[in-house]
């Protein structure tokens, strides 16, 4: 037996039966719903409750991150879109046509995150276009977070069911 066979026997490389995949999935969605447009949500809450310097800090960080997101999308948005579509399509084909479980897992993680990226771009455009400040900005960031959490809930639900299906299928058929 080769050394790499021993390693793969010791570490289960199937994604949906691996605890590390589920931990990574939960960390990704927890982090994604906490950092809204690159702004930690506790700063949004603190600005809403206390105003003053916390609200000024929120305006500053939202302005910086909104400008950054819109600049990147303006300069290389089409390249990012093309590469993302190519990568997601390649991973989907490898995962679902060629039955590579790791690629299925990455697709089920990557596709919803791409929707979050598009939602963030739209939110950044609306913030700049409407010049949102104060309570209107806080309300927009909270609404954005709710949509991110909804995307995360659906993604975790679909990934969970697909993972259960994969584990039952592989368990019944014997791999």
Q: Considering its fold, how many domains does the chain have in total?
A: 1
Residue 173: the pLDDT is 59
Please give the distance of CA 108 from its chain centroid, rounded to a whole number: 10
On whether residue 115 sits in a domain, the answer given is yes
* 17 occurs within a structural domain: no
The answer to whether position 67 is within a domain reads yes
| Confidence (pLDDT) at 127 | 97
d(CA 115, CA 103): 18
The span from the CA of 11 to the CA of 73, in Å, is: 40
Q: Does residue 35 sit within a domain?
A: no
Residue 109's pLDDT is 97
Range of the domain at 172: 54-175
41 part of a folded domain: no
Spans of the chain below 50 pLDDT? none
In a domain, 16, yes or no: no
């Amino acid at each position: 037996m080769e050394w790499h066979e021993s390693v793969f026997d010791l570490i289960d490389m199937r994604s949906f039966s691996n605890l590390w995949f589920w931990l990574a999935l939960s960390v990704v969605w927890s982090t994604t719903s906490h950092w809204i447009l690159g702004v930690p949500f506790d700063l949004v809450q603190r600005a809403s409750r206390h105003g003053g310097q916390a609200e000024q800090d929120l305006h500053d960080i939202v302005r910086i991150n909104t400008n950054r997101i819109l600049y990147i999308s303006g300069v290389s948005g089409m390249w990012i879109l093309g590469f993302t579509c190519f990568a997601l399509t390649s991973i989907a084909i490898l995962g679902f046509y060629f039955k590579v479980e790791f690629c299925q897992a990455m697709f089920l993680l990557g596709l919803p995150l791409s929707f979050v990226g598009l939602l963030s771009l739209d939110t950044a455009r609306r913030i700049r276009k409407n010049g949102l400040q104060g309570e209107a900005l806080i309300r927009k960031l909270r609404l954005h977070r709710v949509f991110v959490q909804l995307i995360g809930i659906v993604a975790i639900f679909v990934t969970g069911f697909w993972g259960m299906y994969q584990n039952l299928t592989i368990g019944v058929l014997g791999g």
